[in-house]
Each structure stands twice: as C-alpha cells, then as structure tokens.
Amino acid sequence: MMTDNLAVLTLQCPDQPGIVASVANLIADVGGNIANADQHTDRDSAVFLQRIEIDGPVDWEAFEQGLRQLIDRFSMQSALHRPGTRDRVVLACSSELYCAADLLTRVSLGELDVDVVAIVSDKPAAGQLAAQHGVPFRLVDGGLTGDARAKQEAAFAAALEELSPDLVVLARYMRILPEEITKRWNGRMINIHHSFLPAFAGAKPYHRAHQRGVKLIGATAHYVTAELDAGPIIAQGITPVSHRDEVEDLVRKGRDVERSTLANAVRLHLEHRVLVWDNRTCVFA
C-alpha cells in the first residue's frame, strides 16, 4: 500500500494494557482517522510495537502535545512521519554496480520515491553510472600511501556528513566500516549481503555455498552495525539451485536476488515499516 498522502506513526514500548485504546483515542480527538494499523507483541521481551497510518484534518500541534503525555505514561519510543517530503538517499558502491544501477532505475521509473543525492564509491567505475542518471558522484579512495585505509574511511565519513542523507544504502560497497561510522548512521544505513544470513557470512559466500552443495541460495538486506553482517535483518530472498550449477551460475542467480531484496528493504524502510529491538526487526509488510 502506498503511503505518500498519509502520516505514519510508529511506536514501541513495554507491553501493558491501554496502549492501543489511548493512541486511537488521541488520533480521534485531534480530528484524525486511522487508515491502517498493525501491531505486534513480542512475548519473550514483553515489547509492544505498532505502526499506524493516519489521514484526515489532523490538528498536529494538539496531537504532538497529547503524544508527549502518552510517551511519559507508557515509556514509549515513537516517531511521526508527516507526508510531503522525499527522503534523501546516498548510494555507496564499489566496482560491482548492478545493485546501484537497479536502484537508480527504480527511482527513475517512480518505484522508489526518493532523491538520490549522490553515488559515493571507492572505485572510479561508478562515475559513469552516476553520469548516466544525472546523479552527483563522489570518489572516496585513500590513495596509495601506507595509511590509505584510514584516509579512505575518513573521506567516506566526510562525504556522508556533507551530503547529510536520510538513508545510506550500501549497494555492494565492499569495505568493512569502522565503528564510528556504523554508530553515526545507526538505523539509517542498509547493506546487502550476498548470502542468506546467518549462513556464509563474510567473503565469497557463493563459492562456499557451492562447496557445501546447497539447494537454495539467497541474499539478506540488513541494517549495518559494528559487527560484520550481523545487523538487524530487514528482508531476505532466495532462489533454488542444483548440482548442475557452477559457481558462475550461483553468482548470476544470486545477483538477481540481491537486486530485488535490497530494493524491497529500501522500500520497507522508506515506508516506515521496520521497527528494531534487541537486534531484531518487526516488519509490517
């Protein structure tokens, strides 16, 4: 369901009686209408999570005042996303461009309603892709000196700070990021890993999947954390393979899954359908 003309309220708090009724009454009291609502209670951690789409002639000042009272009452974390603004997105990639190219095509076709403010890459190959789509390009390599890695990481961090995006998408950006970057963009940086995590984390997962003789391969889109390939999972996709498939076949099939899985994760994030707790996600798809 498209949410372009709807406000979206997301919230999470310790599970307790009265949350749903209190929030619904507040929305009604300020002139709002609940167009759609979904909720989940995690029994193990006693956490309540909810996503509500709101339309109508809402008195937003009164709503925010009332919401502050509910936040205090229920020890609630909440976010209100008003319609009318487009998210600013940075795509980061290295020499493999297929995920970045797919996202740019989806943007040009109107499938993703965002402004791509730049392609940032540690390799010059992405410059031509950026030019084809009329997107600014930032090269963030570290040169050939002994401290090239530190310089490259600093250049990447500086580019993100300058561009100030709402979301950073690592579309096959083949660098392990330092903790200071992952913390800075916590919950606002999505990575695609070419494996159905937690299986085959790290490098060359298709080679290891082939050696293991798997019958399914997949891809995982997740929020980036300091621990490599271990952030909260947003979306996963799979495709069947057989004993006849060589590594090259797994790579070809896997790339198709990576494209669709990453695009799906970006859409879910942009529509505020993902709530995170305890390194887990609740996805209101």
List, by residue number, the catalytic residues.
229
Q: Which residue has the tokens 């010059």?
A: 124
β-partners of residue 280 are 277
- What is the rounded end-to-end Cα distance, in angstroms, of the chain? 9
CA–CA separation, 145 and 272 (whole Å) = 42
Three-state SS letters, the chain: CCCCCCEEEEEEEECCCCHHHHHHHHHHHCCCEEEEEEEEEECCCCEEEEEEEEECCCCHHHHHHHHHHHHHHHCCEEEEECCCCCEEEEEEECCCCHHHHHHHHHHHCCCCCEEEEEEEECCCCHHHHHHHCCCCEEECCCCCCCCHHHHHHHHHHHHHHHHCCCEEEECCCCCCCCHHHHHHCCCCEEEEECCCCCCCCCCCHHHHHHHHCCCEEEEEEEECCCCCCCCCEEEEEEEECCCCCCHHHHHHHHHHHHHHHHHHHHHHHHCCCEEEECCEEEECC
Interacting residues of 244 by C-beta distance below 8 A, sequence separation 6+? none
- Taking alpha carbons only, the member of 108, 120, 113, 114 closest to residue 88 is 114
